[in-house]
Amino acid sequence: MKTTNILIAFLFLAAPMAARTECIVTYTFDDGLEDQYTLAYPMFREAGVPATFFIVGSKIGDPKGFRSKVERDTPLMTWEQVRDMAANGMEIASHGWAHAKYAKMDRAAILDDIRRNQSVLKDSAGIDCVSFASPFSAKKGADGSDVASLAKECGILAVRASVKSAGGSMTAEKLNAIVEAAKNTGDWIVFMTHGIARGYDAWENPEELRRHLNWVKNQKDVRVLTFADAAKARTESRGSSTADDIARYERGGQLSADPSEVPVDAPKDMKLILCIGQSNMAGRAKPTDEDRAVVMNAYKLNRDNKWVVAKAPYHFDKKVAAVGPVDDFVRLYLKDHPGETVGVVPCAVGGSPLVSWTPGEKGRRGANLRVALERVKAAKANGKFIAVLWHQGETDAAKATSEQLAEYYPRDFKAMIEAVRREIGDVPVIAGEIGRWMRKDGDHAAKINPVINSLTNAVPNCAIASSEGLKNQDAHHFDREGQRVLAARYYEEFKKCAAH
């Protein structure tokens, strides 16, 4: 099922909005019971409206279902049925791997449960799940960890918190009345059901749901959306402060958040990577859908020195920040080091000259370095640095002669790295050549790249990533494939340095 990343971070309550002329209704079904597929799903297809099904991955295909008294011997859906619903407009969402009691589990156990379900939904049904409902509606783990924040770390964009129960003795008229009331306020109504004909809170008469859907589909001022689509719609239509929205969530509202915007409690044992330089390190390559997806087990330090989960863009130096070498560098490292966690400290600034990275107490000299060192100090509480990635030179090549570059660039680069290493230790430093197409106003690449390659003589434990054969998307920047190859070359050089 195709999903869209939510672009603005908000925590919010399904509450009145003065300017709205319509309400949103979402129908959710928990646990993946078989008769949700055999009975409810056909009703939604008949009415032409979507629903969201929160799936417990470990139970799919179990003919005996859950072991609780009320749902014993209630069969669960099969993966084939899950895939069929996803292919026909229904949202498949996560209800955790084992329907575990998060209130009795610590942070690591909760993360493992959520991540396992994310993985099985992807592997068994091809679904990149973005919505989550906490089992037993748990908000906190045994150690006080926030379940919604942990879900965001796993790539979740929308967390269900408050619902109106449907099922049992509910009738079409009662459901209609709830929706009618919401029309006057512009509320977002989230209905939740477990059993249809049997199981927990099963309908006394499932045909009441069909009658209601036949009514609601004809209401011009009602939008029936999946949970993810409704969360996105509400996010785009609201404007409120983070503090206010968090307070609303604590009172029981829905969560809709871009993981790259909301601070999380990052691990304390991360492998940290410092990114410095100018725009090709910050990244200007156009992102793919994969780039926009959250990277599991990776975090980035935001502009406020708070950890957030990682996804493109890592940098925030300018509005055009996009994909740089660190994106694929992180993926390659995690592939080779399963079980580890990476933290990226992005500090590159588009257009910045080397002088802004050269040690200095005030003014332009050292301005970017001073900021980077402050961010390094903030990041060190959550792990140990393993690498410095540097890409810079386009600005200096445009302003200096080959002789001038050969004189000052290695000297100032060495001073910068010495200042950095006083904070993080003698970690590998990988620098990269500028694009070899850079020939405007003279052959910039021919001037600066030999100097960049000489940096290994000025700084120990340093290596150079070649730009040979890489293509550009504009006059200054690598295209997406170029950044992918450049990242691989950075990573290969890093491995060589780290092995010594």
pLDDT digits over 269-284, tens only? 999 999 999 999 999 9
State yes or no: pLDDT of 17 exceeds 50: no
In the chain, where are the structural domains located? 10-256, 270-499
Mean pLDDT of 473-485: 94
Query: Between the CA of residue 474 and those of 83, 415, 435, what are the distances in Å?
Result: 41, 32, 11
Q: In the prediction, which pLDDT does 439 show?
A: 64
pTM, two decimals, is 0.58
Do 10-256 and 270-499 show the same overall fold? no
Query: Buried (b) or exposed (e) across 64-103, using 16+ Cβ within 10 A?
Result: ebbeeeebeebbbbbbebbbebbeeebbbbbbbbebbebb
Q: Report domain 270-499's class.
A: alpha beta
Burial class (CB in 10 A: 0-12, 13-18, 19+), 495: middle
User: Model confidence at 236, in pLDDT bands (50, 70, 90)?
Assistant: low
Q: In the prediction, which pLDDT does 155 show?
A: 87
* H helical segments located in 425-458: 444-453, 455-458
Q: In the prediction, which pLDDT does 362 show?
A: 75
> Tokens 């609201």 identify what position?
238
In the chain, count of helices (H) and strands (E)? 18, 17
DSSP summary character for residue 57: G
State yes or no: pLDDT of 137 exceeds 50: yes
Mean pLDDT of 227-254: 53
Beta-bridge partners for 133:
160
pLDDT digits over 206-219, tens only? 999 999 999 999 99
Q: Looking at the domain 10-256, which fold is it?
A: TIM Barrel (3.20.20)
